[in-house]
């Protein structure tokens, strides 16, 4: 990739947002940790320094060597990045008298500067810092201020080096995208050709070249990532792609049949394997959440492995891994990583399988995967699907799992999800599902006393599942759903709604 932006990460909570904003401009960008930068910088046409929770004045703050970058490539420092550029070039960074968080407005803008072109006096920006640049380094040209921050934007004379105290990547910075575009296109001369169609074309060509006439196996999950990965491979190598879709008996109601149908409709060479009985047998009597997860993971690999062996001459294993799964993150706390991602559906295949790995989506963010799927004419019912965990209903049935409990939860879940769709709420919710609780409670139906199961409904808003908030679903909807569940699902006499956010709760109950 020759038209590429390097984002050096200093541990800011907004670093991924910078990459996404750049990509929204149809310019490819990559995030690398400041302490492990790429050795070869030749493919990067511009560099952006992220913010950071550290103070530049602290000894353990990131202090990377920029001698191969500053003055040699267009360079933009954001927040900590700007302070870093000042501090180590003769400027003065000190604690601010007033901490500036949230909205501010730019003034003293120089409209004649390419960097600020299109921005107007008063333009809203987002600030989040406790240090401030008291004095700019020598050779710096002051470009903008806010009410509380004198040096809100500057450039270094004779270089394509810029610094801004605010965060252009945050939506509250009204002209943030414009500013990034000015820097990347007007100043750095990058072209805006990173589009879904261009990605599809180059990826298919690369996959053809890489795989040749060897065979690939891929585990489909029904989710967006594995489905889009399969479509790209299908376009590249056709029937040499062998997809396997395993029914672990813990899928949603009728999901195995309907998703399998959809895949076949898309022309995929897919084999559905119904291993429900094998999973249920292995899970029998087990109620510890982690052990249940491990059993489901192990049996999945066994089933997948059995099927993969039936494909003669398979040389590759395809995975739907996406970019956020691979970003090496910088930890603000000094620990190994700020983002802990422990969930994988197909991971850790036995060594003896000796398959080469191919990951067609490893460069994409989730929203880009959806855009690519759309341009591949994939159905909205696959692209707009809520995330669903690999262990499925197994981690939504608290305690031990039986076929009867699975069937009760499938009915409850179907009423809830169909209801969300009917009420036009499905696309407003990031993920939703029902949990079967290991408690019975007393109820009354007609004149009869009942002593039956309780279910919890959960619907959350989120962007990546790392944090989440419960959704304020309309009371009328909850009322109708609760009635439907209790009237239609035998064995359930009580419905509750989960109003916990993550953290401290998690999205799944197990």
The tally of CA atoms less than 13 A away on the side-chain side of residue 81 is: 31
Question: Is 392 a binder of ligand XMP (CB under 6 A)?
Answer: no
To the nearest whole angstrom, how small is the minimum distance from the Cβ of residue 328 to ligand XMP?
20
User: Which of these ranges, 111-119, 190-198, 361-369, 385-393, lies near ligand XMP under the rule CB under 6 A?
Assistant: 385-393
Beta strands in 197-354 (DSSP E): 215-220, 241-247, 270-274, 314-318
**Residue 454 appears among annotated catalytic residues:** no
Catalytic residue among 87, 100, 160, 167: 167
- Give the total of residues touching ligand XMP (CB under 6 A): 12
> What is the number of other CB atoms lying within 10 angstroms of the CB of residue 41?
15
Binding mask 460-479 toward ligand XMP (x if CB under 6 A, else -) reads: -----x--------------
- Residue 294 to residues 282, 283, 299, Cα–Cα distance (Å): 11, 10, 9
- Of 20 and 292, which has the nearer Cβ to ligand XMP? 292
Q: Which stretch binds ligand XMP (CB under 6 A): 1-9, 139-147, 377-385, 388-396?
A: 388-396
C-alpha–C-alpha distance, residues 382 and 224, integer Å: 6
163 binds ligand XMP (CB under 6 A): no
- Tallying the residues shown for the chain, one arrives at 510
Task: Show contacts with ligand XMP in window 412-451 (CB under 6 A).
Answer: 431
Is 345 near ligand XMP (CB under 6 A)? yes
Residue 93 φ/ψ, nearest 5 degrees: -110, 130
The active-site residue, picked from 113, 169, 307, 411, is 169
Neighbours of 197 (CB within 10 A): 12
Residue with Cβ nearer ligand XMP (151 or 345): 345
State yes or no: is 234 an active-site residue: no
Tokens of 471: 């959704």
Please confirm, yes or no, whether 243 is among the known catalytic residues.
Answer: no
Rounded CA gap, 510 and 192, in Å?
44
Q: Which two tokens stand for residue 278?
A: 């094998």
Question: Interface with ligand XMP includes 227 (CB under 6 A)?
Answer: no
Closer to ligand XMP by Cβ: residue 153 or 507: 507
Closest contact distance (angstroms) between CB of 286 and ligand XMP is 16
In 238-318, alpha helices (H): 255-265, 276-283, 289-310
Cα angle, residue 9 at apex, residues 22 and 30 outer, rounded to 5°: 40
Taking the complex as a whole, how short is the minimal distance between the CB of residue 498 and ligand XMP, in angstroms? Answer: 12
387 binds ligand XMP (CB under 6 A): yes
Q: Which stretch binds ligand XMP (CB under 6 A): 49-57, 113-121, 144-152, 387-395?
A: 387-395
Cα–Cα distance measured from residue 440 to residue 88, given in angstroms and rounded to the nearest whole number = 65
Task: By CB under 6 A, tell whether 272 contacts ligand XMP.
Answer: no
Torsion of CA 160, 166, 170, 171, to 10 degrees: -100
Q: What amino acid positions are annotated as catalytic residues?
A: 79, 167, 169
Q: Which residues are at the interface with ligand XMP (CB under 6 A)?
A: 343, 345, 387, 389-391, 431, 465, 502, 506-508
């Amino acid at each position: 990739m020759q038209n590429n932006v390097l984002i050096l990460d200093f541990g800011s909570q907004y670093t991924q947002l910078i990459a996404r904003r750049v990509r929204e401009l149809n310019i490819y960008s990559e995030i690398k940790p400041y302490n492990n930068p790429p050795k070869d910088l030749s493919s990067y046409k511009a560099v952006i320094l992220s913010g950071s929770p550290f103070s530049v004045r602290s000894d353990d703050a990131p202090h990377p060597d920029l001698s191969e970058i500053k003055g040699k490539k267009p360079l933009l420092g954001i927040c900590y990045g700007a302070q870093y550029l000042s501090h180590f070039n003769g400027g003065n960074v000190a604690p601010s008298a007033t901490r500036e968080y949230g909205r501010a407005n730019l003034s003293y803008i120089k409209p004649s500067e390419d960097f600020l072109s299109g921005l107007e006096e008063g333009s809203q920006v987002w600030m989040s810092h406790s240090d401030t640049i008291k004095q700019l380094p020598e050779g710096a040209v002051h470009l903008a201020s806010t009410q509380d921050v004198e040096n809100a934007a500057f450039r270094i004379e004779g270089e394509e080096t810029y610094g801004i105290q605010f965060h252009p990547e945050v939506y509250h910075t009204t002209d943030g995208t414009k500013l990034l575009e000015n820097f990347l296109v007007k100043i750095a001369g990058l072209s805006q050709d990173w589009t879904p169609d261009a990605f599809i074309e180059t990826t298919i060509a690369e996959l053809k070249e890489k795989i040749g006439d060897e065979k690939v196996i891929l585990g489909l999950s029904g989710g967006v990532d594995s489905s889009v990965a399969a479509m790209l491979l299908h376009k590249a190598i056709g029937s040499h792609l062998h997809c396997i879709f395993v029914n672990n008996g813990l899928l949603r109601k009728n999901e195995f049949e309907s998703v399998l149908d959809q895949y076949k409709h898309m022309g995929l060479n897919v084999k559905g394997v119904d291993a429900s009985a094998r999973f249920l047998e292995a899970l029998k009597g087990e109620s510890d959440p982690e052990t249940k997860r491990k059993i489901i993971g192990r049996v999945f690999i066994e089933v997948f492995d059995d099927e993969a062996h039936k494909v003669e001459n398979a040389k590759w294993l395809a995975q739907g891994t996406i970019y956020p799964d691979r970003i090496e993150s910088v930890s603000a706390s000094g620990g190994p990583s700020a983002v802990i991602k422990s969930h994988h559906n197909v991971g850790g295949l036995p060594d003896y399988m000796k398959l080469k790995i191919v990951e067609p989506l490893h460069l994409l963010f989730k929203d880009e995967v959806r855009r690519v799927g759309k341009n591949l004419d994939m159905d909205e019912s696959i692209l707009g699907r809520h995330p669903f965990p690999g262990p499925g209903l197994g981690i939504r049935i608290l305690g031990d799992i039986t076929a009867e409990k699975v069937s009760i939860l499938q009915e409850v879940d179907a009423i809830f999800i169909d209801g969300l769709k009917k009420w036009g709420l499905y696309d407003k919710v990031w993920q939703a599902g029902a949990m079967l609780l290991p408690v019975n409670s007393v109820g009354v139906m007609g004149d009869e006393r009942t002593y039956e199961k309780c279910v919890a409904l959960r619907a959350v808003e989120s962007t990546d599942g790392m944090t989440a908030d419960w959704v304020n679903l309309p009371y009328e909807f909850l009322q109708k759903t609760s009635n439907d569940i209790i009237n239609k699902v035998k064995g359930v006499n009580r419905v509750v709604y989960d109003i916990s956010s993550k953290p401290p709760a998690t999205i799944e109950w197990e």
